[in-house]
Amino acid sequence: MRTQTLAPPPAGQRAPVADWRDTVGQAERRGELLTAFDLAERGLAAHPDDVWLKHRAVLALARAGSTEEAARRFDSYGLGEVEDEDVVALRARIAKDVALAAHGEERRRRATRAASLYRTIFSRTRGFYPAINAATLSLIAGDVDQARTGAREVLELLRANVDQSYYVAATEAEAHLLLGDEAAARAALGRAATLHGDDYGAVSTTRRQLRTICDVEGIDPALLGALSGPPVVHYCGHLISAPAQDGPFPAQAEEHVAREIAAEIDRRPPRYAYGALASGADILWAEALLARGGELHVVLPFAQDEFIVSSVAPSGPRWVERFHRCIASAAAVSYATVDAFLDDDVLYRYGTELAMGLALLRAGYLDAEARQLAVWDGEPARGEAGTAIDVATWQRHGRPVTVISPREHPPGAALSPRSSGAARGSSRVVRAMLFADVKGFSKLTDEQLPRFTDRVLGAFAGVLKRYGEHVLHRNTWGDGLYVVLSDAGTAAACALDLQGAMQSIDLSAEHLPSHLALRLGGHLGPVFPMQDPILESPAFIGSHVSRTARIEPVTPPGSVYVTEPFAAALELALGDEFQCQYVGHMPAAKDFGRLRMYQLRRAK
């Protein structure tokens, strides 16, 4: 996947650090946490000693839920030696996130430690920020009396504070929640909602913290609705027919659909929108969103020129002009693949599901609502892709959809997805791929190789056997392993099981070197199924196979790294079993470009 997004300072000259700070701050306020980290990291390449950029890079990772990577960067940046209050508080913030991710006695123990870190900061600064965090962590640790004592102390501090900022109002709400005063908390949240200045990164942090208190205290989290995150939407719909042609979205219905779209967006204005830009529904959604200040993230299924030829130009030159205007106004333009279209409808579906997953990832970072907006005639799809399939995919786990019919007088029955008709043949299929190798294999002696084959490769074979028919292809060479699986969720489980199998081997007992470690990369993309004439067995080829192979060499030993399309597919599949923690834009092996990478883990 390739992306164009928020522009950094000019690369042709050494931009002042203030410019980098401003750009990172813009991304933070818009809730672009991954972009904020990427920009901070690029700023550090030009200004490696800037503590502010180091702090914001780690904070962006922490806010995005990448706790382990945030902790690693905190240490690698040398922030532990910095006495600045914000930096010291960031160490406590990471300890808090580690505690919140734990359960049972471990959670209480870690919360006690994090509370102690915040209290140490408070004893030096007397600031309300460390005080309220210490109080909330005391509650999580099970010390209710200490939590309430801390909350009352915070309210005393706030009464002496003349600042009427967002953080003051949000902190007051948190203190009232700790004291069980829901009415006062709701009033403070109402004030906070008028003061955040569209700093959605801050809003999402507040909502998560307060939801934790609600969970512990048995308070209805609907109370947080007063401080809701900015709505995120995925938009889709039918292409508009050329004049005098029939179709699910006839040209004469354009004015009616445009009015309905405008009314829906005015009724519930979204802040961020993800989707393609085909003629008809896509462009009408995009135009209406942009006109009302929405932030447009265009996700095209393949290269722009081919997309225009296949999905915009057939409706007439007026739509091509509108396409270019929307592209010019978009906050970001992504390409699911840069491979040739080759009349494969599966690429449309791959691009649409990527857009859905990205919308859900963004909503997750913002702690915000995600819904789908569709222009759909209620009829089944007639191929590998279509609006009916898009709606069914989004609704699969009960996610909300708003449907606008291109007919002014739609049928009385409620629109709901139906099974598609006969599909046009497609030569590509979307599959999940894993590449792995064992670091240290090349140093094994001839005496050790049979034991490695039996114990290590044998363990891998045992894992693959458990996944049975979901394993569509496998190959190995020495320590290398290449596996194709049916979907991202199955591939995620298999990858982590392979890593677990490696880590469970007692290398010393097997007389194998202790430095052996598995590194594993995963990707999801369109590939060509074929019959390998050499192996005389089914196989898969294509540029996305090559892309997956370039991930494994840059993956740290003992880890599983996956691409953004893989992470988005897991999010769309409602994979609560897994977490994808962002680790940054990383250069793939053999000059294959830079890819957004995530560390795959099981959710605790």
Q: Is 474 exposed, middle or buried (0-12, 13-18, 19+ CB in 10 A)?
A: middle
Nearest to 526, CA basis, from 573, 464, 569: 569
Type of residue at 525 = G
User: What's the pLDDT band for 413 if we cut at 50, 70, 90?
Assistant: very low
Task: Please report which helix (H) or strand (E) contains residue 262, including its range.
Answer: helix 254-267
Asked if residue 281 lies in contact with residue 273, where contact means CB atoms within 8 angstroms, the answer is: no
Mean pLDDT of 231-240: 95
Provide CATH code, domain 232-404. 3.40.50.450
User: What's the pLDDT band for 592 if we cut at 50, 70, 90?
Assistant: low
Phi-psi region at 244: left, alpha or beta (left = phi > 0; alpha = psi -120 to 50)? left
Alpha-carbon gap, residue 141 to 106, rounded angstroms: 10
Q: Is 219 exposed, middle or buried (0-12, 13-18, 19+ CB in 10 A)?
A: middle
**Close Cβ partners of 549 (under 8 Å, ≥ 6 residues apart):** 435, 482, 521, 589
Where does 173-329 show beta strands of DSSP type E?
A: 232-237, 272-275, 295-300
What confidence score (pLDDT) does residue 325 get? 97
Q: What is the pLDDT of residues 43-74, one digit of tens each?
A: 999 999 999 999 999 999 998 888 889 999 99
Question: 429-602: which CATH number, 3.40.50.300, 3.40.250.10, 3.30.70.1230, 3.40.50.970?
Answer: 3.30.70.1230
Calculate the alpha carbon distances from 266 to 249, 288, 292, 294, 470 in Å.
Answer: 22, 9, 8, 11, 45
Mean pLDDT of 344-360: 94
- Side-chain-side CA neighbours of 169 within 13 Å: the count stands at 19
User: What's the pLDDT band for 314 if we cut at 50, 70, 90?
Assistant: very high
Calculate the alpha carbon distances from 20 to 2, 198, 330, 472, 590 in Å.
Answer: 23, 20, 22, 46, 29
What confidence score (pLDDT) does residue 410 get? 57
Mean pLDDT of 228-243: 91
Which tokens belong to 254?
A: 């354009």
Asked if residue 567 lies in contact with residue 598, where contact means CB atoms within 8 angstroms, the answer is: yes
Q: What is the pLDDT of residues 6-45, one digit of tens each?
A: 456 654 447 899 999 999 998 888 878 888 999 999 999 9
Q: What is the pLDDT of residues 522-532, one digit of tens each?
A: 999 999 999 88
Q: What is the pLDDT of residues 162-193, one digit of tens each?
A: 778 999 999 999 999 999 999 999 999 999 99
**Boundaries of every domain in the chain:** 2-227, 232-404, 429-602
Nearest to 591, CA basis, from 553, 541, 540: 553
Task: Please report which helix (H) or strand (E) contains residue 439, including its range.
Answer: strand 429-439
Q: What 8-state DSSP symbol labels residue 564?
A: H
What confidence score (pLDDT) does residue 422 get? 41
Mean pLDDT, the chain, rounded, equals: 89
pLDDT over 60 at 416, yes or no:
no
Residue listed under structure tokens 């957004």: 596
User: What's the pLDDT band for 418 if we cut at 50, 70, 90?
Assistant: very low
Residue listed under structure tokens 């709400």: 173
Mean pLDDT of 65-92: 90
pLDDT over 90 at 320, yes or no:
yes
pLDDT over 70 at 343, yes or no:
yes
Alpha-carbon gap, residue 547 to 565, rounded angstroms: 12
User: What's the pLDDT band for 417 if we cut at 50, 70, 90?
Assistant: low
User: What's the pLDDT band for 575 if we cut at 50, 70, 90?
Assistant: low
Calculate what percentage of the chain has a pLDDT beyond 90. Answer: 67
Residue 537's SS3 state is strand
* DSSP states of 298-310: EEESS-HHHHHHH
Q: What is the pLDDT of residues 275-304, one digit of tens each?
A: 999 999 999 999 999 999 999 999 999 999
Give the total residue count for the chain.
604
Alpha-carbon gap, residue 239 to 375, rounded angstroms: 9
* DSSP states of 483-523: EEESSHHHHHHHHHHHHHHHHTS-TTTTT--TT-EEEEEEE
Q: Which of 242-251, 391-400, 438-447 has the lowest mean pLDDT?
A: 242-251
Own/partner contacts of 533-537, CB < 8 Å, gap of 24 or more, are 535/475, 537/473
Q: What 8-state DSSP symbol labels residue 4?
A: E
Asked if residue 595 lies in contact with residue 563, where contact means CB atoms within 8 angstroms, the answer is: yes
What confidence score (pLDDT) does residue 546 get? 87
Mean pLDDT of 548-570: 90
Is the C-alpha dihedral spanning 168, 170, 176, 181 positive or negative? Answer: positive
**Domain 2-227, what fold?**
1.25.40
What confidence score (pLDDT) does residue 587 get? 64
Mean pLDDT of 66-95: 91
Residue 442's SS3 state is helix
What confidence score (pLDDT) does residue 8 get? 60
Calculate the alpha carbon distances from 407 to 228, 251, 260, 316, 379 in Å.
Answer: 34, 11, 11, 21, 12
What confidence score (pLDDT) does residue 4 get? 46
pLDDT over 60 at 425, yes or no:
no
Alpha-carbon gap, residue 603 to 101, rounded angstroms: 9
